[in-house]
Amino acid sequence: MTVCAEVSFDELIEDAAARAGLRRTRGGGWKTRAGRGAVTLNVRRLPDGWLAFECAGRRAPSDEQLLREQAAWLGPVKLQRTPDAAEVRRVVELPLPDAQRTFPSVSGHELAESLEKELVEFFSDLFRWATRCLGGSEVHTWEETVPLQMDRLANWLREGGYSPTYVSDSEVRLVLKRKGWDGDVRFCAGEGRLRAVMSLGFWPQLSRVSRHAMIALAMEANDRCRLCRIAIPPEANVDGQNQGGDHSEEYGRGATRRREHTLALEAQFDLTGLPPITADQPVRSAFGRELLTAIVDAFRLNLCRLAVELDVLAHNQELAGSILRHEGAEKPGAP
C-alpha cells in the first residue's frame, strides 16, 4: 500500500499493532500475550502490495487430512507446508488498496491527514481479526459484524464487471465461464459464517493412484497460490471410498480387481469475522472491492487451470503415477 511520504507503512503497522494490544517479540514478530494460548504473528508486506500474516507451524499431518482441515477454519486461513514439508504454518494473505490509486484526487499532506486515522483503525482491526483466525480462536460471526451486506457485495461485483445470477439476503451467485464447463461461485452467509465457494469437481470412480496424484496437486496449489484455499468439503465421504465396494477392470491380458475411490474438491475463501466494511469509509470500501476482485480472479484461475488438471489426472492413471514418482523424488530425504 502506498500511502504517502508522511505516513510510512512501517509506522502504520507499529501503531496498528500497538492499538490491537500486540507487543514486539525478540524475533521481530508480534505476540498477543504471554503464557499458554499466546499467538505470535509474523507480518510481512509483500512486493506487490499484499499483506501476509503468518503463524508458527506444527507437525504436518497427511495431505488428505490437511485438505480436510482447510475447510474447518473460519477466516481465509491457508494451511501451508514449510519447504521441507515437515511442518504446517497458518497464513492469511490479503490484497491492500493502493491509496494513491484509490484516492487520486487527494495527495500529499492532505491524504495523510484525511486517511491516517482510518488506516490505523482498519489495520488494528485486521491485526485483531488475523490473530483470532490464526490462533484458532472463535471469531466474530456474520451476524455480529455484518462485514458485507449481500446487496453491496453484488454491487461491487457488478462494478468489477461481473454479473451475479442470483442475489438474496443470504446468498449471491456468480457464474464463471470456461469452455466445456462453468464454475458456480456462491457467496453464502449463515450459521455464523460468510464463505465463497466454487466446486472444482466430484469424481466418483477413481483409482488409488489418480486420487493420490490429485490430492498432491491440490496441496501444491495451496502451497503456491494466494487467497483462496483448496479443500475437501466436510460433507465428502470420510474414507473417500464408494459404498459400492470393489469393481473389476481390464488391464492388458487379464482382469484385476481394485477398489474405486471418490474425491470432491472445492476452492474456498472464508470472509467470516472480517473487519466491518462500510461504504462511508473510503479505505474499508476500497479494500472490500479489491478483495472481491482478487477472490473472483483466484476462482477463475482455479477453474481454468486447476480444475482442468485435476480432471486430466482423474482419467489418466499413467500420468498420475508419473507425477507421484516425480513428487517422491523431490521430497526431502528421498533417494
CATH number of 142-330: 3.30.1460.10
With 0-12 CB in 10 A as exposed, 13-18 as middle and 19+ as buried, what is 212?
buried
- The SS3 of residue 323 is helix
- The SS3 of residue 193 is strand
Integer angstrom CA distances of residue 109 from 3, 32, 117 = 10, 33, 13
Q: What is the pLDDT of residue 240?
A: 44
Total residue length of the chain: 335
- The SS3 of residue 325 is helix
Q: What is the pLDDT of residue 289?
A: 80
Q: Which amino acid is at 66?
A: L
Q: What is the pLDDT of residue 197?
A: 92
Which residues partner with 309 through β-bridges? none
Mention every residue, 6+ apart, whose C-beta is less than 8 A from residue 30: 17, 22, 23, 24, 40, 41, 42, 43, 127
Per-residue pLDDT tens, the chain, 335 aa: give them. 444 444 567 777 788 888 888 888 777 777 776 555 677 888 888 877 788 888 877 888 889 999 998 888 888 888 888 878 788 888 888 887 655 455 444 455 555 566 777 778 888 888 888 888 887 654 444 444 445 678 888 888 888 788 899 988 889 999 988 776 778 999 988 766 788 999 999 999 899 999 999 999 999 898 888 888 999 998 765 444 433 333 333 333 333 344 468 999 999 998 887 777 666 777 777 888 888 888 888 898 888 889 999 999 999 999 999 888 877 644 544 43
Rounded to whole angstroms, the Cα distance separating 176 from 185 reads: 7
C-alpha dihedral (309, 81, 198, 190), degrees to nearest 10: 170
Rounded to whole angstroms, the Cα distance separating 309 from 321 reads: 14
H helix or E strand, kind and range, residue 12 = helix 9-19
- The SS3 of residue 28 is coil
Q: Which amino acid is at 64?
A: E
Per-residue cell: 52: 501476509
Do domains 9-134 and 142-330 share one topology? The answer is yes
Q: What is the pLDDT of residue 210?
A: 94
Rounded to whole angstroms, the Cα distance separating 275 from 283 reads: 12
Q: What is the pLDDT of residue 178?
A: 76
CATH number of 9-134: 3.30.1460
Rounded to whole angstroms, the Cα distance separating 30 from 28 reads: 7
Kindly provide the b/e burial profile for residues 133-144, where b requires at least 16 CB atoms within 10 angstroms of the residue's own CB: bbbbeebbbbee
Q: Where are the domains of the chain?
A: 9-134, 142-330
